[in-house]
Amino acid sequence: MKPIRKAVFPVAGLGTRFLPATKAMPKEMLPVVDRPLIQHVVDEARQAGIEHFIFVTGRNKSVIEDHFDRQFELELTLSERGKRAELEVLARDLPGPGQTSFTRQQSPLGLGHAVWCARELIGNEPFALLLPDVLVQHKRGCLAQMIDAYNTLGDSANVIAVEEVSRDVVHMYGVVGVGKPKGNAFAITEMVEKPKRAEAPSNLIITGRYILQPEILDILTTQATGAGGEIQITDAMIALAKKQPFYGLKFEGRSFDCGSKIGFLSANVAYGLARDDIAPAFRAEIKNLLGEG
Ligand code: G1P
């Protein structure tokens, strides 16, 4: 079984749903409590044992690269002021030297195209793909759960995190068809990107976490545009599923679609309430706001 060592983070999106907040700042840097979205997702990948972090960025995204580097002036000031706890947080969050790579998606041609832009960095090995719009809150992160499943599924397996949603929203996501169970996963029989409600094979949507075999990159080289006029990763997966098995995993934990305002605000509440240092005061303040204090 080839280990999953590399993870790809597509971070080139424009973040139009969060304007004007994202006019000069990448949406991936919006904080959920006191950590940028992208840091939460990188934390999930690190917990799963990922050793190399590949960011597909775009113009105006260079602060993401700065975020994953040391900040000597800040470190010096913190150390002169004896701020040990803050220094430890910065050191703990930083991937090691040589563990990050950055490449650019020059034009917004879709998620599949973004992944293809990372092909030279991925090379010929299976890899994880994590969409930073989605946060999954659970002690054992979603990707770690997926790798546990992957390790039981055989060498050419592709694994996708899925979750149940109301039929009313399936048209906003990739949707999978459900086949035979295998361990705690199941065989995927079909995949459709952004189907009409009546055409959706189930109410199980693709959550934004994938383990993919490198053959997907060859397919993406010639992948035509699909839903929304973009080169879709789902369409390339449909092609790969003719040759390799795809499995769905209903992960444990609560997901937040931080690409939407409600999802982002809910994530801030949920992650705030999960923090011992702020939860008591935060809970009291929420009750106050709701008129229940
Ligand atoms: C992407 C994928 C879709 C998936 C979704 C999860 O869509 O194409 O299959 O369900 O992420 O958030 P997007 O949100 O980029 O439109």
Cα 53 from chain centre: 12
Give the distance (Å) from ligand 1 centre to CA of residue 64: 21
Domains annotated on the chain, with CATH: 6-288 (3.90.550.10)
Token pair, residue 220, equals 């993406």
Asked if residue 160 has its Cβ within 6 Å of ligand 1, the reply is no
With bands split at pLDDT 50, 70 and 90, how would you rate the model's confidence at 292?
A: confident
CA distance 41 to 143: 10
* Atom from ligand 1 closest to the CA of residue 259: 14
Distances (CA, A) of 86 to 64, 82, 266, 275: 20, 9, 26, 16
Give the distance (Å) from ligand 1 centre to CA of residue 260: 12
Convert the pLDDT of each residue in 223-234 to its tens digit.
889 988 999 999
Closest CA to 158 of 248, 61, 64: 248
Cα 55 from chain centre: 11
Convert the pLDDT of each residue in 100-140 to its tens digit.
999 999 999 999 999 999 999 999 999 999 999 999 999 99
pLDDT of 293 strictly over 80: no
Atom 9 of ligand 1, nearest CA residue: 174
Asked if residue 234 has its Cβ within 6 Å of ligand 1, the reply is yes
What does pTM read for this prediction?
0.96
Give the distance (Å) from ligand 1 centre to CA of residue 173: 5
Distances (CA, A) of 202 to 163, 184, 243, 248, 282: 11, 18, 23, 12, 38
Which of 162, 173, 238 to probe ligand 1 with, by most ligand atoms within 8 A of CB? 173
* Atom from ligand 1 closest to the CA of residue 134: 12
Atom 14 of ligand 1, nearest CA residue: 173
Secondary structure element (H or E) that encloses residue 257, with its range: strand 254-257
- What pLDDT is stored for residue 1 in this prediction? 75
* Atom from ligand 1 closest to the CA of residue 233: 8
Residue bearing tokens 């109301």: 166
CA distance 280 to 271: 13
